[in-house]
Chain A
Amino acid sequence: MNAILDAFAMVATTEVAIAVLASAVYGMVIGALPGLTATMATALLVPVTFYLSPIAAMATIITSSAMAIFSGDIPGALMRIPGTPASAAYTDEAYALTRKGQAELALGAALWFSAIGGIVGTVCLMVMAPALAEIALSFSTYEYFWLSFLGLMCATLVARSSPIKAIAAALLGLLVACVGIENPGGVPRFTFGSTDLLGGIEALPALVGVFAVSEIMRAMNSAPPPPIPNRRFGSILAGQWELTRRYQKQMWRGNVIGVLIGALPGAGADMAAWVAYATSKRFSKEREKFGTGHPEGLVESGAANNSALAGGWVPALLFGIPGDTITAIAIGVLYMKGLNPGPTLFTEKASSMYALYIIFILANLLMIPLGIMMIRASRQVLRAPRSAAMPLILLLCAVGAFAIGNNLFSVLLVAAFGVIGWIMERNGYPVAALVLGVVMGTMVEQNLVSSLIKSDGEILPFFERPVSSVLAVLTITALLWPAGVWALRRLQPAQAAR
Chain B
Amino acid sequence: MSKMTRRGALAGAATLPFVRPALAQPRYPARPVQLIVPWGAGGGTDATARIVASLLERELGQPFNVVNRTGGSGVVGHSAIAQAAPDGYTIGMITVEICMMHWQGLTELKRTSYTPLALMNEDPPGVQVNASSPYRDIKALADAIKASRPGQFKASGTGQGGIWHLALAGWLGAMGLAADHVRWVPSNGAAPAMQDLAAGGVDIVTCSVPEARAIIEAGRARSLAIMAPQRNPQFAQVPTLNETLGINYSVGAWRGIAAPLNLPAPIAQQLTAALQKIWNSNEFKDFMNARGFGMVWGDAAGFAQHMERTDATLGAAMRSAGLVRG
Q: Which residues of A contact B (CB under 8 A)?
A: 42-44, 46-47, 50, 136-143, 181-182, 184-186, 188, 195-199, 265-266, 315, 318-322, 328-329, 332, 335-338, 340-344, 404-407, 409, 446, 449-450, 453-454, 456
Contacts and interface: CB of A to CB of B under 8 A. Distances in A.
Given A182-B73, A453-B154, A342 B214 contact: yes
B287 A336 contact: yes
A339 B50 CA distance: 20
B185 A450 contact: yes
Contacts of A266: 188, 192
26 contacts: A42-B42, A50-B54, A136-B195, A181-B73, A182-B159, A182-B188, A184-B160, A184-B186, A186-B323, A195-B76, A199-B71, A266-B188, A318-B218, A320-B191, A329-B43, A332-B44, A340-B213, A343-B218, A343-B219, A405-B70, A405-B76, A406-B68, A446-B186, A450-B156, A453-B154, A454-B185
A181 B106 contact: yes
B96 interface: no
Dominant SS at the B interface? mixed
Nearest to B40: A43
Nearest to A455: B154
B160 A185 contact: yes
B192 A140 contact: no
A452 B24 CA distance: 68
B161 interface: yes
B41 A198 contact: no
Contacts of B76: 195-196, 198-199, 405, 407
- Interface core residue of A42, A198, A315, A446 (most chain B CB under 10 Å): A198
Contacts of A50: 50-51, 54
A326 B138 CA distance: 36
Contacts of A335: 290-292
Interface residues of B, number: 59
A324 B293 CA distance: 23
Given A321-B194, A336-B47, A343-B217, A196 B72 contact: yes
A465 B162 CA distance: 29
Given A320-B213, A341-B214, A405 B69 contact: yes
Nearest to A449: B186
Nearest to B104: A186
Interface in B187-215: 187-188, 191-192, 194-196, 198-202, 213-215
Contacts of B68: 405-406
Given A137-B220, A195-B79, A322 B185 contact: no
A185 B156 CA distance: 13
Contacts of B311: none
Nearest to B325: A187
B229 interface: no
A46 B42 CA distance: 6
Contacts of B200: 140
Contacts of B69: 405-407
A18 B144 CA distance: 57
A459 B141 CA distance: 28
A319 B199 CA distance: 12
B50 A450 contact: no
A453 B72 contact: no
Contacts of B40: 43, 405
B107 interface: yes
B199 A139 contact: yes
A184 B192 CA distance: 13
Contacts of A341: 214
A333 B219 CA distance: 23
B67 interface: yes
B154 to A, nearest CB: 5
Nearest to B54: A50
Contacts of A319: 194-195, 198, 214-215, 218, 220
A286 B257 CA distance: 61
A342 B217 contact: yes
Contacts of A406: 67-70
A265 B194 CA distance: 11
Nearest to A43: B41
Interface in B16-73: 40-44, 46-47, 50-51, 54, 66-73
A188 B325 CA distance: 12
Contact of A329 (B42, B72, B202): B42
A137 B54 contact: no
Given A406-B69, A407-B76, 6 more contacts: A44-B41, A140-B200, A195-B75, A199-B73, A199-B76, A456-B151
Nearest to A343: B218
Nearest to B221: A319
B112 to A, nearest CB: 19
A137 B160 contact: no
A374 to B, nearest CB: 25
Given A198-B75, A342-B217, A406-B69, A141 B196 contact: yes
Given A137-B198, A342-B218, A332 B47 contact: yes
B71 A198 contact: yes
Contacts of B66: 47
A321 B218 CA distance: 12
Contacts of B201: 140-142, 454
A195 B323 CA distance: 19
B146 interface: no
Contacts of B186: 184-186, 446, 449-450, 453
5 closest A-B pairs by beta carbon, nearest first, are A320-B214, A186-B160, A140-B201, A329-B42, A198-B72
Given A188-B106, A406-B67, A454-B201, A46 B287 contact: no
Nearest to A137: B198
Nearest to A42: B42
Given A184-B160, A320-B214, A46 B46 contact: yes
B319 interface: no
A432 B213 CA distance: 39
Interface in B259-298: 287, 290-292
A324 B303 CA distance: 35
Contacts of B75: 195, 198-199
A320 B291 CA distance: 12
B231 interface: no
B183 interface: yes
A323 B241 CA distance: 33
B220 A454 contact: no
B192 to A, nearest CB: 7
B158 to A, nearest CB: 10
Interface string B71-86: 1110110010000000
